[in-house]
Chain A
Amino acid sequence: AQRVTQPEKLLSVFKGAPVELKCNYSYSGSPELFWYVQYSRQRLQLLLRHISRESIKGFTADLNKGETSFHLKKPFAQEEDSAMYYCALNLLDNQGGKLIFGQGTELSVKP
């Protein structure tokens, strides 16, 4: 079955420390993976998509098909990075897509 796993519910780091939020997926096809972020009292926002190979707000994520992972990384965490982060897999079915979300990781960056 298709599944997205984020093993850490909470990740706490100090400002300036490196951050890695883990995401593993289970999917037999070619995955379309995303990271979404939800800041306090704000809507869910798209942060990264693997198809773009982009860096947003200093965050990057590399798709590793061998390890079925899509970890989110940032070399130097900032306090404004504190938020809830969700890894999501877009499944194509009946020519439409649907997102399978991980349970989310709360990132807390301390001063």
Chain B
Amino acid sequence: EPEVTQTPSHQVTQMGQEVILRCVPISNHLYFYWYRQILGQKVEFLVSFYNNEISEKSEIFDDQFSVERPDGSNFTLKIRSTKLEDSAMYFCASSGGTGGGEKLFFGSGTQLSVL
């Protein structure tokens, strides 16, 4: 079964450093998403991406965050200057775009720890 792949599985960084979280979506998917889950809290939507541009973003997704699909296969989330509160599990998801979430596939996540 096709799957969404995320690397690394764990990332430790110092506060103020830039991090890039990487995702390889399912190959024929067109819609891409990032969600995050702070420890003990619910999974929260960050951003959706389609046709090489952001289609929607949450209020969490401020100027410190950016997304990119650099080479047609990878989908990245960059945090420019990490804060302690950015520590969370970040999930990438992709979809064939049938709408409504019924074809959404999640990766296994990257645990980001900001020290």
Q: Does B bind A? A: no
- Residues of B at under 8 Å CB distance from A? none
- Residues of A at under 8 Å CB distance from B? none
